[in-house]
């Protein structure tokens, strides 16, 4: 069976964008893949994290995995720092990857901004650690969003160069899994910006721990425009995606429609057909009902799990042991290939 690896950073306050963009997709992969899902706490500290909050945030991500339907008995759920193979293989990959490759990584430029000289070295070599996360388990597929596609390409480059340099077939060339509707969920207050926990307005996002009343209130207050809802004539020639210029003209409308499509499991085309010409007031009522039905139970279960940290910790510990058992022979093989004494 093919193997999936993916991770989520424990930066706190998981929201609808995290769920629709990543976690929900993880759930559906369990039937067809051997799945390893990691809370990547080592990636999190590439920028400053409050040490008192890192552990609770780590538990929050694990709770979200479980509450969303990831079965910790069939899939592996663990936090990255409990398995030393990640750091060990990352150092080898630091010596395989080229400076020029890392200089082309746009996410470092975006995160470091004008403070590039003050950014941590960890943030710069973050893609090498991501490659180690994946290849320590010889994962064959990785579900990625648009913002991670470049890093996955680097993982493929590292695997190919390692295999070529050492004349081996040790690592697979990983394939991406890119999902469709609502992989980018935008702010409920500004449809041109991504939904983010850093937005000062709580009404810009739906948190996964929000209750039914909070979800309903945020959707009802979501920004819209004066027009009726658009119809299928908004679709591009492929019949699957909204024409870019049309979407730019009404970002809030298409954001809400995209959220509805994703939560309902139907295509944007079907959603546009369903609500063509409707008023926002009626549509928001439908979106409230759907969102509360889909997200309410997840929030309730997350709250229950986070109130029992010992259970979540035991899931992470068990997952770490299972993950380490898979990674250990890979690390041994790498030691032998590289020529480390005592391998």
Angstrom CA distances, 327 to 79, 82, 89, 139, stand at 14, 12, 10, 11
Residue-level pLDDT, tens digit, the chain, 343 residues: 799 999 999 988 899 999 998 899 899 999 999 999 999 999 999 999 999 999 999 999 999 999 999 999 999 999 999 999 999 999 999 999 999 998 888 777 777 677 778 788 988 899 999 999 999 999 999 998 766 777 789 999 999 999 999 999 999 999 998 775 446 799 999 999 999 988 999 999 999 999 999 999 999 999 999 999 999 999 888 777 888 898 999 999 999 999 999 999 999 999 999 999 999 999 999 999 999 999 999 999 999 999 989 999 999 999 999 999 999 999 999 999 999 998 6
Q: Which tokens belong to 201?
A: 């307005």
Q: Which tokens belong to 292?
A: 């509360």
Long-range contacts of 302-307 (CB under 8 A, 24+ apart): 302/60, 302/63, 302/64, 302/67, 302/208, 302/209, 303/209, 305/59, 305/62, 305/63, 305/66, 305/67, 306/56, 306/59, 306/60, 306/63
Q: Which tokens belong to 46?
A: 């590439």
pLDDT of residue 182: 47
pTM over 0.85: yes
Q: 106 CB contacts (<8 Å, ≥6 apart)?
A: 150
Q: Which tokens belong to 264?
A: 């309902």
Q: How many whole angstroms separate alpha carbon 250 and alpha carbon 83?
A: 46
Domains (range + CATH), the chain: 3-181+309-338 (3.40.50.620), 202-305 (1.10.240.10)
Residues annotated as catalytic (active site), given as ranges: 111, 194, 197
């Amino acid at each position: 069976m093919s193997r999936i690896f993916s991770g989520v950073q424990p930066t706190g306050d998981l929201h609808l964008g995290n769920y629709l963009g990543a976690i929900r997709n993880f759930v559906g992969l369990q039937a067809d893949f051997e799945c390893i899902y990691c809370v990547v706490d080592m990636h999190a500290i590439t920028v400053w994290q409050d040490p008192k909050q890192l552990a609770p945030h780590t538990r929050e991500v694990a709770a979200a995995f479980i509450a969303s339907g990831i079965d910790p008995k069939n899939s592996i759920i663990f936090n990255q720092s409990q398995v030393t193979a990640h750091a060990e293989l990352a150092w080898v990959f630091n010596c395989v990857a080229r400076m020029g490759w890392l200089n082309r990584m746009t996410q470092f430029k975006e995160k470091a901004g004008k403070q590039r000289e003050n950014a941590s070295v960890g943030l710069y070599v973050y893609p090498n650690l991501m490659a180690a996360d994946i290849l320590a388990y010889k994962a064959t597929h990785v579900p990625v969003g648009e913002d991670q596609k470049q890093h996955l390409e680097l993982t493929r480059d590292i695997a190919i160069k390692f295999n070529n340099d050492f004349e081996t077939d040790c690592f697979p060339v990983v394939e991406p899994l890119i999902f469709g509707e609502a992989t980018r969920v935008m702010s409920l207050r500004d449809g041109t910006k991504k939904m983010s926990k850093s937005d000062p307005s709580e009404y810009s996002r739906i948190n996964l721990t929000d209750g039914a009343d909070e979800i309903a209130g945020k959707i009802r207050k979501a920004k819209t425009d004066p027009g009726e809802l658009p119809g299928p004539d908004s679709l591009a020639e492929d019949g699957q995606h909204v024409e870019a210029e049309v979407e730019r003209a009404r970002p809030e409308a298409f954001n809400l429609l995209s959220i509805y499509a994703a939560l309902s499991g139907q295509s944007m085309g079907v959603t546009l057909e369903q609500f063509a010409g409707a008023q926002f007031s009626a549509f928001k009522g439908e979106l409230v009902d759907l969102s509360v039905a889909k997200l309410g139970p997840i929030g309730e279960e997350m709250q229950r799990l986070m109130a029992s940290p010992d259970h979540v910790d035991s899931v992470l510990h068990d997952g770490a042991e299972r993950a380490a058992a898979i990674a250990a022979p890979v690390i041994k093989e790498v030691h032998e290939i590289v020529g480390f004494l005592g391998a």
